[in-house]
A = this chain, B = another copy of it.
């Protein structure tokens, strides 16, 4: 069996995800992946067995941004800082949104693909929001028995992922910051 070097594997994973983000999961073929990543189809199939396995593997090993959760002293400023990080890194944000959009339909047919996407892209958002929420709860800003933890991930990513669909444009800084003030903080904070 042909062994790929770590660098070569990394390059191949990136190539696969960029193809998927650009064309949508369903449209991408192993032929096209082989062409763009300058691999032989035989090698791809020997290593991964199927397009699904290859994309799941690529999702699982793509580097996530490993930043510390913000700790600015209040829940509001922490959430605004998270929005600012997204805006500072628009290219990465926009790429992740493309990838989510490209996979949204395919995950309905493939639980395995959905699990890989959740682990790769959503796990770090979930854990970051969890830390921010824990500290806010310790400070008494959020009720200790607030039951919306499961809702928060969806509520936080919604404007990033859905704005284009709902309004036909990428969300701008004003919209994303007002989302924190108008939607997230009223739901989270003790009255």
Q: Give residues in A with beta carbon < 8 Å to B.
A: 23-27, 98, 100-102, 104-108, 111, 114-115, 117-118, 122, 147-148, 150-151, 153-155, 157-159, 161-168, 175, 178-179, 182-183, 186-187, 191
Question: Which chain B residues lie closer than 8 Å to A164 at the CB level?
Answer: 107-108, 114
Interface residue from B118, B159, B191 paired with A166 (Cβ < 8 Å): B118
A178 to B147, Cβ gap below 8 A?
yes
Most buried by B among A25, A26, A165, A179: A165
Interface residue from B23, B154, B178, B191 paired with A26 (Cβ < 8 Å): B23
Question: Which chain B residues lie closer than 8 Å to A23 at the CB level?
Answer: 26
> From residue A123, how far is it (CB to closest CB) to chain B in Å?
11
B147 to A154, Cβ gap below 8 A?
no
In the A-B complex, list the 9 residue pairs whose CB atoms are closest, starting with the nearest. Answer: A26-B27, A158-B158, A24-B26, A101-B104, A101-B105, A148-B182, A24-B105, A186-B186, A102-B105
B182 to A118, Cβ gap below 8 A?
no
B168 to A111, Cβ gap below 8 A?
yes
Count of this chain's copies in the oligomeric assembly: 2
Question: Which chain B residues lie closer than 8 Å to A158 at the CB level?
Answer: 154-155, 158, 162
User: For residue A126, which residue of chain B has the nearest CB?
Assistant: B166
> From residue A40, how far is it (CB to closest CB) to chain B in Å?
25
